[in-house]
Amino acid sequence: MNLVHLLLGTARRLPDQPALAMGWRPVSTYRELAFRVARLSSGLRSKFNLSAGDRVALAMKNCPEYYEIIFACWHAGLTAVPMNAKLHAREFAYILENSGAKVCFVTPDVAAAVPTGTPVEHLKTFYLEAGSPAEVAPQDPAWLFYTSGTTGRPKG
């Protein structure tokens, strides 16, 4: 099962319920989040020329855009590569190269450490017409995590 179906099913059952909040302030309903995810999914594949299984890195602190990107990756059949926002620039560079990530989204606080990153502030410019969720096989990776690398290089 594609993990995005968890979001899409909830959006069908509880469309007007809060999906994301900043503190106690709701910022998105499930309907809104599912709609943005489907549009961003199309944009990721088209504007970045990504294909099923390609990796998309997230060098971001916790924010609503993080969840939009990760669900859009799954919607598009891409593999998310979440990275700890507290890493050093060398560590980000290593993981980006080692993972083969074709694009990396960054929040403003991490942008200096990942100069090739795509700022999350530009996310809306990547929205295209919403498509259907990608078909995925059970062995297709949804995400690729890296160890902290405290005793050597991080391992994916």
pLDDT in tens for each of the 156 residues of the chain? 899 999 999 999 999 999 999 999 999 999 999 999 999 999 999 999 999 999 999 999 999 999 999 999 999 999 999 999 999 999 999 999 999 999 999 999 999 999 999 999 999 999 999 999 999 999 999 999 998 777 778 889
Q: Quick one: tokens of 12?
A: 């069908």
Amino acid at 12: R
Give CA–CA dist 1/140, Å, rounded. 10
Q: Quick one: tokens of 54?
A: 């390609």
Find out whether 92 and 111 touch, Cβ atoms under 8 Å: no
Find out whether 50 and 41 touch, Cβ atoms under 8 Å: no
Helix axes 4-13, 30-47, angle to 10 degrees: 140
CA atoms within 13 A on the CB side of 154: 22
pTM reported for the whole predicted model: 0.94
Strand locations in 15-125, DSSP E?
Answer: 18-22, 25-29, 55-59, 79-83, 103-106, 118-119
